[in-house]
Structure 1
Amino acid sequence: MIETNYQLITDAAHLRAEMAELSKHQVIGLDTETTSLDPYAGRL
């Protein structure tokens, strides 16, 4: 089974803190949410 580690990054300071760890990996997965199902109209 693949080990997973999910984190919700809600601000720029947390994102900066995680970038050092993320840059150590060749592949990462990201999930975002938008305000619309329309990919051209939705806002992150």
Structure 2
Amino acid sequence: MPQWMFNDEFWSKLEKILLQEAMDNKRNLRMTVEGILYRKRVDCPW
């Protein structure tokens, strides 16, 4: 099981904000957001 950067309580709040901004309700939205933040944190190239 992956280790999430966000706890479930924080993610539920963030998800509501993201979905209000007309983002698609993707099944793996949490993994996508955490992947973007991970790549930014470790500074690896796209």
* TM-score category (smaller protein): 0.3 to 0.5
Structure having the higher Rg? 1
State the TM-score, normalized to the length of structure 1: 0.34
Larger RCO, structures 1/2 (Cα 8 Å, 6+ apart): 2
Q: Normalized against structure 2, the TM-score is what?
A: 0.33
Q: Indicate the structure with greater helix content.
A: 2
